Structures are given as structure tokens and as C-alpha cells.
Structure 1
Amino acid sequence: MKKLIAAKLKNEQLVQEMNAALTETVGFRLWWLGQSGYVLQWNGKRIVMDPYLSDSLTKKYAHTEKPHVRMSELVLRPELLENVAVVTSSHNHTDHLDAETLVPILKNNPNIKFIVPEANRAFVQQRVQCDLDFPVGLNDGVSVTVDGFTFTGVPAKHNELERDANGQCRYLGYIVRFGNHTVYHSGDTLWFSGMEDLLRPYGIDVALLPINGDRPERRVAGNLNAKEAVALGKAIGADLVVPCHYDMFTFNTANVSDFVAEAKAQGQGHRVLLGGECLHMP
């Protein structure tokens, strides 16, 4: 069995680092949880975006023609995540809406807000067995503020800009504004017409973008590739692009060195994180 990619920090050590930073009042911190999952801390508040902290997909597809073989260590047992003000899901795919991850987080944080696309409310309720009115539903152009964080929904194309019968997006990205900072979590998305014009006015400091690409032979919905992620970062004026959605499953990954080479060639600010590694924006 191939050795898993080691986390920078994990479990109790990672939580200790996060907790120690809760007293900071300047700047913000961002930890990569693997795939498209992040913990964001600012001004003593903690939010968690699109966490996948289980082996549910590996178990589900173990004896199929599409095995989800894990590449990286599990960074954090979800029951260790406390003091969480908000958790998000950008869409219904299990690596962004995982019951084995979300149920412990929701249980351990009784005052938490759960932000999802409004179009997915009924599916989310069934997946995590919560009350139907518990999730906070967003659509593109709709915002909500929780504990100083303002979340605004923006469309995501995975592989289509899909909407429900009421015209609400099934796939979203989130603009997160707090203090003088702005982080863009794209969710899973391809580049669509007008995307850069939509995002540029937000003045994005850090863009969290997938790089695993869109390859039909994988038989799963695709994403930006490394070159496109860098180009999008440039087009929207992001100070920093942080790549994600790679090194989780062997059948659906990318070589992050391609992203680094492209970012250097294009002069785009960037930072590559290991699982459990912190980006500190002072």
C-alpha cells in the first residue's frame, strides 16, 4: 500500500494551533483540511468551509469500477472541531456535503449556522438529518452576515450553471468578507462567460481555486485546471491564489507543481499548503 501524503499538523496538534490563534486581533488565518475544505479564523471567530473529513467516499466506491483511493492523511477528526460559528457546503457532492463530517460538527457546535445553496435545502436536510428550516439558504447575489462574516453567493459551473425550477443555483461559490479582508471560495467550478467581471469588483485577497481539471474519462464533473486557476486569479485581481481539490483521490487529482510553475510564469501571487498547514495573512 502506497504511503499517504503526510499532514503538516493533524488532530489535537492542529486544534491546539488553531485555538492558540483565536486571540489574534490582526489579520486572519486559513488552514487547508484537504480537498476543498478550509478553516478560516479572524477576530476570535472560526468558520469551516466545505469540509470532507472522513473516508465515506473510499468506503462507498471500494468495490466499484471507480474506486476513490485516498492519497493524503486525514487531517482532522470532525468531532474535534469546536467553537465554529459557520460551516458551509457549496453543493451536494459528498466531498462537499459529507454526513460523516457534518453531523459531528453540527452536534458539537449548538449555535452554528449552516450555509448552503437554497436550491439544495431539501437534499441537505435529508443528508444530514437536520430540520428543514435549519440551513441558511443562499442564491447568487444573496448575502448573509454571521458574527462579522458576510457570505455572498456567486454562481459555480460544475459542469453546468445549473438552476432549480425557481431559478436558484445548485452550485455556488462564496465571497466571504470580514473586516478589510475578502476570501473567495469557488466551490467546484469551470470558468464561465462573465465570471471575471462578476468577481473582480470584490477586491479578493485570497482565492481558493480547484486545479484538478475537467477530464471526461474520470466520469465526474470537472473543475478549473492549474493554468485556468492561475489565469482566473490574474483576471479577478486576486492577491493570492491557493490551489485545492487535488491530492485526495488517485483518480481525480493534479500535479500541484504545474500550478506553481504557471503562477511563477504569470507573476500571480500564490501559496501551496499541505494538509493541516496554516496561511497567515497579517
Structure 2
Amino acid sequence: MKTFLSIVLITYTLYAQAQPASDMIPAKHTDIKIQPIGHGSLILEWNGEVIYVDPYGADKYEGQKDPSMILITDIHGDHLNVKTLEALNTEKAKFIVPQAVKEQLPESFQKNLFTLANGEARKVNDISISAIPMYNLPETEDSRHPKGRGNGYIIDLGEKKIYISGDTEDIAEMRALEGIDVAFVCMNLPYTMDINQAASAVLEFKPGIVYPFHYRGQGGLADTEQFKKIVNEGDASIDVRLREWYAE
């Protein structure tokens, strides 16, 4: 019996260590739990809602609550991953996606699906969600992320505004954001932007808290410590939170 219990304890400890640390953000009704999953994927929990953002890698969701809502930003495989979706229990989940994602989702996921275009907003499960542009600069016909195809999102949870950048550069629409409490900002070349672009944008729209995520590109991992240094040299009041998004 002791041997069995020891194995269980070791297994649980290894599993717990493999999960990135979660954060709690004070909000109305209940705190917001922020659970990094990996790369551009995360879970937001608030007031009974469990929101998956760009779920990718089914094994990374072991031990997590089933989603009540799934937000997908774009059609690329690290954001729209049908294999992951098919492995998860999405029976009660409502999908919020851009039209380009809807067109690539199998029929089995179309039942509880809402499409949002850039600039549109709606309430889902009584949560306000706005679609924000995300795209590369300069705008070209062969862009990896053309304007209008994908969505960044602003989610209102407990009177806190949470911004998910999607795959974008430091576009005017991001720089013009106001009142953002928590921001998740990408920074991986050559797909999105470098740390200097990201820091410059953050210093302009001034979120209360910013998490650099989606920071692995062709050159490896972006220097998030340097990103934090640049931001805090420009504005020490912005809480830059560095978390482990890449366990491997």
C-alpha cells in the first residue's frame, strides 16, 4: 500500500510540476484564474465560466475543467487545431471564431458557434466579447496574417478587460486600446513582432498587467526578460508577468 501511495504521490507531483503556474486576478463576483497552457493557448476561469483560448495539444489539458466557451483567433494550426478539439469534451462549449475559422471547422463543432468580424461585439453566456483586428505590417497580399481574417479579442470578466492579441504586429488598433486590465501580447519573429515593437505598443496602450506569450519563432524563444526591462524602464507601473509557456 505504501508503495502504491508513493507512486501516486510521485505521479501527481510530476504532473503538478508540468503544469505552468496559474495566476489569480481580483475581479467582481470571483477572482479570474489565468492558466497558461502553452505558446498561444490559455484558460480563463471566472464565475463558473471556463474559457479556452486557441486550444492546442490535448495532453496539456489533462486535469483541467471542460470548457464552457472556446475562442479561436485564426486558421493556423497552433490556433485552430481540430485534432485537439476532437480530443476535448466540447459538448457544452460555445465557439467564438472569425468566419475563416468557421469555414474550416468540421460540422460537429458548428452547433454552438458564433462568428465575429473585426470590430464586432456580442454577449455569449452573458460575457461581452469584442473582436479586434490582428494583422502583419506592412499589409501585403501574401501576408501571413492579412487584416480581417483573424481576431484578437477583448473579454470583459468581472469588470476587468482582458485583451488577447492574436498573431499581430504593433498595429494602430492595438496601440489605441484603452482601459485594458490584462493583456496577452505575442512576440515571435518572423510571424508577429519583435520585443521592441511589442514593448512600444504596450507602453502606448498601458495595460495594468501584461503577459508576453506566443514568443517562440524561427530563432527560438524571444527575450522576454529584455521585453520586461524595456517596458518597465518606460513605465514602472505596468506589471510585466513572465510565465513558463514552453515546458519542453
| TM-score, normalized by the shorter chain, greater than 0.5 | yes
1:31 corresponds to 2:10? no
Provide closer, same or farther for how the CA distance between residues 194 and 48 of structure 1 changes in structure 2, counting only shifts above 3 A: closer
Structure 1: distance between partners of 2:162 and 2:212: 13
Structure 2: distance between partners of 1:43 and 1:93: 30
The aligned runs of 1:135-146 (5 Å cut-off) are 135-146=113-124
Matched with 2:193 is 224
The aligned runs of 1:238-249 (5 Å cut-off) are 238-247=207-216
1:148 positional shift: 3.4
Normalised by the length of structure 2, the TM-score is 0.77
Q: Aligned match of 2:74 in 91, 105, 129?
A: 91
Q: Aligned match of 1:103 in 86, 94, 102?
A: 86
Query: Secondary structure of the residue that 1:93 maps to in structure 2?
Result: coil
Give the structure with the larger strand fraction.
2
Tell me the alpha carbon deviations over residues 102-149 of structure 1, each in whole angstroms, 9 at most, x when there is no partner: 1122xx131111111023321123xxx525454311111222222332
Provide closer, same or farther for how the CA distance between residues 172 and 42 of structure 1 changes in structure 2, counting only shifts above 3 A: same
Q: Aligned match of 1:173 in 132, 152, 165?
A: 152
1:79 positional shift: 5.6
Normalised by the length of structure 1, the TM-score is 0.68
Instruction: Name stretches of at least 5 consecutive residues in structure 2 with no aligned partner.
Output: 1-12, 142-146
Query: Secondary structure of the residue that 2:108 maps to in structure 1?
Result: coil
Structure 2: distance between partners of 1:169 and 1:262: 30
Query: Secondary structure of the residue that 2:239 maps to in structure 1?
Result: coil
Matched with 1:210 is 186
1:251 positional shift: 4.4
Relative contact order: is structure 1 or structure 2 higher (C-alpha 8 Å, sep ≥ 6)?
Answer: 1
Q: In the alignment, is the contact (CA less than 8 A) between 1:11 and 1:80 conserved in 2?
A: no
Matched with 1:118 is 99
Identity of aligned residues (%): 25
1:253 corresponds to 2:206? no
Q: In the alignment, is the contact (CA less than 8 A) between 1:148 and 1:178 conserved in 2?
A: no
1:183 corresponds to 2:162? yes
Specify the code of the residue in structure 2 equivalent to 1:123. Q
1:14 positional shift: 7.8
Query: Secondary structure of the residue that 2:30 maps to in structure 1?
Result: coil
Q: In the alignment, is the contact (CA less than 8 A) between 2:203 and 2:231 conserved in 1?
A: no
Specify the code of the residue in structure 1 equivalent to 2:185. L
Provide closer, same or farther for how the CA distance between residues 120 and 45 of structure 1 changes in structure 2, counting only shifts above 3 A: closer
Aligned pair count? 223
Structure 2: distance between partners of 1:158 and 1:98: 22
Instruction: Name stretches of at least 5 consecutive residues in structure 1 with no aligned partner.
Output: 1-8, 55-75, 163-167, 215-221, 278-282
Provide closer, same or farther for how the CA distance between residues 40 and 10 of structure 1 changes in structure 2, counting only shifts above 3 A: farther
1:169 positional shift: 2.2
Provide closer, same or farther for how the CA distance between residues 99 and 79 of structure 1 changes in structure 2, counting only shifts above 3 A: farther
RMSD of aligned residue pairs (Cα, Å): 3.2
1:152 corresponds to 2:165? no
Q: In the alignment, is the contact (CA less than 8 A) between 2:70 and 2:95 conserved in 1?
A: yes
Query: Secondary structure of the residue that 2:226 maps to in structure 1?
Result: helix
Specify the code of the residue in structure 2 equivalent to 1:116. V
